[in-house]
Every structure is written in structure tokens, then in C-alpha cells.
Amino acid sequence: MSTTLPTILNLAIFVAILSVLYWMQKKYYSFAKRVFTALGLGILFGLVLHFLYNTATPESATILKHTIAYTDIVGTGYVKLLKMIIMPLIMVSLISAIIKLKGADSIGKISALSIGTLVGTTVIAALIGIVVAHLFGLSAEGMTAGAAEIARGEALLETNHHMGEFSLPNMIIAFIPENPFQDIAGLRSTSTIAVVIFSIFIGISAMGIAKKKPELFASFEHFMQVAQAIVMRLVTIVLRLTPYGVAALMAKMVAVSEFAEIAKLITFVAASYVALISMFIVHLLIITATGLSPIQFVKKIIPLLIFAFTSRSSAASIPFNIRTQTQGLGISDGVANFAASFGATIGQNGCGGIYPAMLAFMIAPTMGVDPWSLSFILPLLIIIAISSFGVAGVGGGATFAALIVLSAMDYPVALAGLLIAIEPLIDMGRTALNVSGSVTAGTVTARIMGELDATVFNSQEQIQLDSDSSTNELN
């Protein structure tokens, strides 16, 4: 009974935070302002919970547990709703886009440019990870493990054993949708790409009957227009919950973080964020090279990056990502859907590039390998480029990528277990960089293909991503 009243008071404060955000929505504050406010209020609330209840006493631990359990209904519930609309959004948007593209050549060019940019930037990210790890003097030597870290290391070893030998052919085969309904249900780590491939086949098949049976094609095209309108309305409804979800997710992250453990590994945390920020600057340089304003680019994608940062899920960011590209940056539906979908599982700059490269660099000296030798760097970059296909777009994808890379290098994988305490903290930044990479790929592709509306991109108006504005369509 002693824990009930504090829990109720905590939840009352949380409800008050949600009420403030709701008031801002009713007063028509911009979407970006509401997201920033949610981020700040979530951090403050999380800090209060952390310093009041994140102690060794059972009573405080119980209060924190119960409080987080209820606030998590908003945070995790929001992420689940986003995941709910991913597959329908990908299917109707891609099929509709393919019908508008009027040709398989455009599909091939968009896919090649998007994937090429994603993988290319991942290799650059890996190089940055190596340089930063060197500058900070990171090494696996002398690192000690506690009970939790040892358990995590053993679990990773077991996971690595079940993974078997890394194989690019097997990974490519995993992309092929043997059972589309299974992939629409998201039952595999490669389901997103499989649904993209299935949608491409449906779109191409529809184009095949356009001339032979125009009346049937017209009916199908109208059906897709109706389906897309309904799905986009659903996206709008869910995106309106973004500020509430961000506040809840951020509060949970701060409240349960172990600051003492983070302090022990602060050098690795600092190095990770230096690498992440450096790679984000590379993204801006790429945008500048296309003749677009990097400042304008940042303004438009900040709300998306905040959500990716708090949710730690590239996959859950897909609806938000697509809406940001189409309404904020003026990118066509087809390019935005390809880039966002591919970017959730391919060429993730943070999880698939920087993180495994830093771990490999740290381990190399313990294996008697010079981490600055070409015999180390070249194979590492090749392996990272190949393994960047199919990295899971959810929290923990970096660990999966690290397992593949370290195993392919014949290095021990248990080091990742030693970083368990700081994993959530650095994973937030990694996810934001992953999503930034996918938007960069979409922008570059759209610019080259002539599928970017510069008027929309350069517009100084606040884009309300949770409004019913129609997505950008370019002929």
C-alpha cells in the first residue's frame, strides 16, 4: 500500500505532461515545437523518477517499476501503432508509385541509387568509426565484466553459434518472399525488404495489363488510389500521437538508465557520439554536393531524428520517414518509399557501419593484428558492406551486425556483452544516424532522378507532418 500513492502521484504528473502537449496541439503549435517540448518534458520527468526512485531499496524499485509500466502504455503503444501501419503503407505506396512511374527502368534506377548510397555511406561510416576509435585510444584490453555483462556475453556466444557461418547468398535468399502473408505479418527480420519485393512484383504485374486490359487496369488503379488515401489517413492519425510517444519513451529511457555504469564506459560513449556526429556531417556534405541547402535539410528532418532517437527503431520510423521525405523535402512517393524501406534494413550507418568497425578495431590488437594494416581494414570494410544487407531495423540491430562482422573476421564476440550498460544510450544515436542515412539516400536519389520538388524543399513554412496534407506527387 505504501507504494500506491507515490505511483499515483507520478502518473498524475505524467498525465499533466500529456495534457500540456494536447493543449499545444489544440492551439495549433507547430509539429516540431510539440516534439521538442515532449522531448524536454520527457527528460525532466525521467530525471525526477531516476533520482527519486532508481535506488537499491525495494520500495523505490517497485514504485519506479509500476510507474514505468503505465507510462510505457503510451510509449510502447505508440511504437506498436507505427509498426502496425508499416506493411500496409509500404505495399499501397510502392504499388501506387510503380503505377505512376510507368516503367521498370525507373524502378531499377531508384533501387540501385538508393541501395548504392546506403551501402556507400555505411563504408564511410565504418572508416570514421576506425579513425575515432584510434583517436580515443579505445581497446578491448583490460576491460572487465560484471555478472550482467558475463551473462550477455554468453548469450551472444550462443546466438553466434546458432547463426552459423555468415553467407551473403543465404542473406540474399532470405530477402525473397516465399510466403508474402508471413512477411506482411512481419515474422522475419527481412520481412520489410520481402514486402518491398512482393509489392514491386504486384506493381509490375499491374503495368503488364495496362495495355491488354485497360478497363481492369483502370479499376485496379482506382482501388489503389482509395487504398492509399485510407492508409495515409491512418498514418496521419498515428503521427498525431508522436509528441505523446516521444515524452513517454524519453522518460523511460532516462529513468531506468544506470548513470554509474555509463560513467565507467564514458570514453566509449563519447567516442561513439563523436563518430555519429561526424557521419551526420558527412550526410550534410553529401546533401550540399547535390546543390541543396544542408540547413534546410536539417530543419525538415529534426522531428524525425528525435523520434528515431527516442524509439531506437528504424523500422518504426518508416511511416514518419516517408512522410518527412514527401511533405518536408519534396521527394516523390516512389523514391521516398524505396529509400525508407531499404534504409530500415540495408546499409545502416550507425548500427551496420560505425559500431562493428569500432568493436573490430578494439579487438584487433588482442588478436595480434595491426588495426592500421590494409590486411585488416580492407577485409573489414568489405565484410561491413556485405553484412549491411539485412541488419534488423529494430533496437538491437547493431548487436546482430557486430556478431556477423566479428564472426566473419574470426574475432571473439563477447566484447559486445561488456557494453550492455551503455547499449541503450548509444543505440539512440545510432538509430538517428541510420534514419538520417536513409533520408540522405532518398534525397540523393530523388535529386538525380528529377523526383524532388525544390519548391517544397526550400519552403520556409512549417510542415505539419501529422496533418491530412496529401503527399507530394511528381510526374
- What is the arithmetic mean of pLDDT over 172-190? 84
Best CA proximity match to 245, nearest among 307, 294, 316, 324: 307
- Residue 469: inside a domain, yes or no? no
- Which burial class, exposed, middle or buried, applies to 18 when counting CB atoms under 10 A from its CB (0-12, 13-18, 19+)? middle
Domain enclosing residue 287, as ranges: 4-458
Please report, as a single letter, which amino acid is at residue 134: H
- Residue 228: inside a domain, yes or no? yes
- Residue 464: inside a domain, yes or no? no
* CA-to-CA dists, residue 269 to 138, 215, 272, 319, angstroms: 11, 60, 5, 29
Q: What is the pLDDT of residues 240-275, one digit of tens each?
A: 999 999 999 999 989 988 777 677 778 889 999 999
Decide which of 62 and 153 is more confident. 62
Q: In sequence order, which residues have a C-beta less than 8 Å from that of residue 457 and are 6 or more positions away?
A: 292, 293, 296, 300, 329, 330
Q: Cα(167)–Cα(383) distance, rounded to whole angstroms?
A: 10
Q: Cα(21)–Cα(240) distance, rounded to whole angstroms?
A: 11
- Residue 470: inside a domain, yes or no? no
- Residue 54: inside a domain, yes or no? yes
Report how many domains make up the chain: 1
User: How many C-beta atoms lie closer than 10 Å to residue 192's C-beta?
Assistant: 28
Highest mean pLDDT among 164-178, 275-289, 307-321, 377-391: 275-289
- Residue 230: inside a domain, yes or no? yes
- Residue 226: inside a domain, yes or no? yes
Decide which of 472 and 469 is more confident. 469
CATH number, residue 226: 1.10.3860.10
Kindly write down the DSSP assignment for every residue of 376-399, as one continuous string.
HHHHHHHHHHHHTBT--SSTTHHH
End-to-end CA distance of the chain: 64
- Residue 467: inside a domain, yes or no? no
